[in-house]
DNA sequence: TGTACATCAGTGAACGCGCGTTCACTGATGTAC
DNA sequence: TGTACATCAGTGAACGCGCGTTCACTGATGTAC
């Protein structure tokens, strides 16, 4: 029966409520946005562990107290950013339709996937690190963002197994999970390969080959 | 000309020097070892970020001050553990010799690799997380531990490309890096797949297939 | 168009917790004779 | 075998920094009439 206050910065019936119960208007929404952007910016150059509320506040020229109007803590701000990345990923699920007999289909998907990572490297990396450390909320965000891809890849494997193109000893789920791991990691750190003479295109091509060959089997 | 004190816990001419300059004897060495083991144990259930000097000290029934006799900080203790894991990995390089025409060769390597991870999951995970966050010393440890495998895999790819069994569009380095990413991640979290009905053997088999097919090419 | 009021937005300054780190000390072990 | 000394080992207690967090306050914006 009790009327719980809405969680910080959460929306309820399109009305955003700040931590002290005031409704957030246009100006407040903009400030909140700047806090989020500042958070994303700072994560490019420092790990989440070293990111202080004071840093974010200073970055937008505000007081630490202002931060708490919109977020319970730094983690909550990062969770919002990670959720936004999830939305940016969603459209890629379409690229997994079709029979993928052509290498080009795999290439399109890999390229698009890495493109989203290139746009949001810092936040996605932090999301994955936190997920791997066992933070349940980051884990969930990652899982739900990747689920369509894992499911899609696993389905391709099953189809190829029915055709006899892929060895039935493979676990479709393990295969899909393995390929996603490969894609995420290469997306996250392909820039570092540049120093070894491996460019983004090489990475995309290589990943596409591996994915295609694995889920579509041998000719 | 100045006689620098040896770094904490470091060996010089087989004589270990503690942080206050005293040489460390049998008893001290044992205490240091217990500190290391306690660190590894605690890392199983909590991320590095939450690991306090006090926690480690309490775990071995000692005072925080004792910890500082042997390590500069928590990170240094973890670095020692990570280096030890590197040594545990080293023998696997032998498994990469041979021509790998047989799937079984890949399977042996994958199985052994995952076995080492199973023995040292916590420390290796922490090593990788720190490396991905950009900590140079963890990065170096990871790189040098994995280098033989990356090099070996890349060499196999080149050989297969000369045979025409693998598409020359693939970058040997990117391919090897991608496969290592896949292996590390599956080694790190294959336990979680159990809940989806995918056992350790399924994971090994699946990884072995992908690795073999990728570096040895199509029949 | 202007004025008064309500509400949204932002902050300075302080409090306090938790942890890292140190130091002067006690206790344990080893060894010379 | 025993005693004295040197050195190794361990610690209680405290200090202080840095950050999270809050509160009472000022300022900005919107709106009713």
Q: Is pLDDT at B8 greater than 80 in this prediction?
A: no
A207 interfacial to chain B (CB closer than 8 Å): yes
Contact B36, B81 (CB under 8 A): yes
Contacts of B49 (CB under 8 A, 6+ apart): A49, A133
Give the pLDDT band (50/70/90) at residue B15. Answer: low
Closest by Cβ to A170, choosing from B134, B178, B206: B206
A65 interfacial to chain B (CB closer than 8 Å): no
Q: Is pLDDT at B162 greater than 90 in this prediction?
A: yes
User: What is the full DSSP assignment across A194-215?
Assistant: GGGT--HHHHHHHHHHHHHHHH
pLDDT attached to residue A14: 53
Count of other CB atoms within 10 angstroms of residue A11: 11
Q: Chain B, 42-71: which CBs lie within 7 Å of strand C?
A: 52-54, 63-65, 68
* Mean pLDDT calculated for residue range A11-40: 83
pTM: 0.92
Residues from chain A contacting residue B169 (CB–CB below 8 Å): 205, 209
∠ CA B119-B186-B96 to the nearest 5 degrees?
A: 75
Q: Which nucleotide minimizes the distance between its C1' and the CA of B65? A: D11
Count of other CB atoms within 10 angstroms of residue B144: 13
Closest by Cβ to A213, choosing from B198, B207, B214: B214
- Residue A81 (CA) to nucleotide D28 (C1'), in angstroms, measures 29
Architecture of domain B90-216: Orthogonal Bundle (1.10)
Give the pLDDT band (50/70/90) at residue A73. Answer: very high
Contacts of A164 (CB under 8 A, 6+ apart): none
Instruction: Please state, in angstroms and as integers, the Cα–Cα distance from residue B59 to each residue in B55, B64, B77, following that order.
Output: 6, 11, 14
Q: How far apart are CA A144 and CA A133, in angstroms?
A: 17
Contacts of B71 (CB under 8 A, 6+ apart): B8, B9, B19, B35, B77, B80
Q: Over pLDDT 90: what percentage of chain A? A: 84
Residues from chain B contacting residue A181 (CB–CB below 8 Å): 181-182, 185-186
A169 interfacial to chain B (CB closer than 8 Å): yes
pLDDT attached to residue A100: 87
Q: Is pLDDT at A20 greater than 90 in this prediction?
A: no
Smallest CA–CA distance from A50 into chain B, residue: B49
Determine whether the interchain pair A174/B219 forms a contact, defined as Cβ–Cβ distance below 8 Å.
no
Least confident piece of the model among B122-126, B199-203, B214-218: B214-218
B123 interfacial to chain A (CB closer than 8 Å): no
Residues from chain B contacting residue A167 (CB–CB below 8 Å): 209
Q: Which fold has domain B11-72?
A: Arc Repressor Mutant, subunit A (1.10.10)
Q: Quick check: A27 CB within 7 A of strand C?
A: yes
pLDDT in tens, A122-154: 999 999 999 999 999 999 999 999 999 999 999
B197 interfacial to chain A (CB closer than 8 Å): yes
Count of other CB atoms within 10 angstroms of residue B157: 26
How far does CA B14 lie from the centroid of its chain? 25
Residues from chain A contacting residue B203 (CB–CB below 8 Å): 171, 174
User: Which nucleotides on strand D sit less than 7 A from a protein beta carbon?
Assistant: 7-14, 19-24, 29-30
pLDDT attached to residue B53: 97
Instruction: Please state, in angstroms and as integers, the Cα–Cα distance from residue B27 to each residue in A219, B23, B68, B70, B215, following that order.
Output: 64, 11, 16, 12, 50
Determine whether the interchain pair A178/B207 forms a contact, defined as Cβ–Cβ distance below 8 Å.
yes
Give the pLDDT band (50/70/90) at residue A31. Answer: very high
Determine whether the interchain pair A129/B129 forms a contact, defined as Cβ–Cβ distance below 8 Å.
yes
A173 interfacial to chain B (CB closer than 8 Å): yes
User: Per this entry, what is the length of chain B?
Assistant: 219
Where do the structural domains in chain B lie, given as residue ranges? 11-72, 90-216
């Amino acid at each position: 029966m009790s009327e719980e206050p809405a969680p910080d910065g959460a929306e309820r019936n399109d009305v955003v409520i700040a931590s002290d119960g005031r409704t957030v208007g246009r100006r407040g929404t903009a400030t909140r946005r700047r806090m989020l952007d500042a958070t994303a910016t700072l994560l490019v150059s420092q790990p989440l562990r070293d990111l202080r509320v004071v840093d974010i506040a200073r970055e937008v020229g505000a007081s630490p107290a202002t931060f708490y109007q919109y977020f319970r803590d730094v983690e909550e701000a990062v969770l919002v950013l990670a959720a936004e990345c999830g939305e940016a990923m969603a459209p890629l699920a379409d690229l997994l339709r079709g029979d993928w007999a052509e290498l080009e289909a795999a290439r399109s998907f890999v390229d698009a996937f890495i493109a989203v990572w290139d746009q949001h490297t810092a936040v996605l990396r932090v999301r994955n690190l936190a997920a791997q450390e066992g933070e349940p909320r980051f884990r969930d965000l990652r899982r739900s963002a990747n689920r369509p891809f894992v499911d899609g890849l696993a389905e391709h494997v099953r189809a190829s197994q029915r055709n006899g193109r892929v060895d039935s000893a493979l676990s479709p789920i393990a295969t899909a999970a393995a390929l996603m791991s490969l894609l995420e990691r290469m997306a996250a750190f392909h820039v570092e390969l540049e120093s070894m003479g491996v460019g983004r295109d090489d990475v995309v091509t290589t990943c596409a080959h591996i994915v295609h060959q694995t889920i579509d089997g041998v000719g």
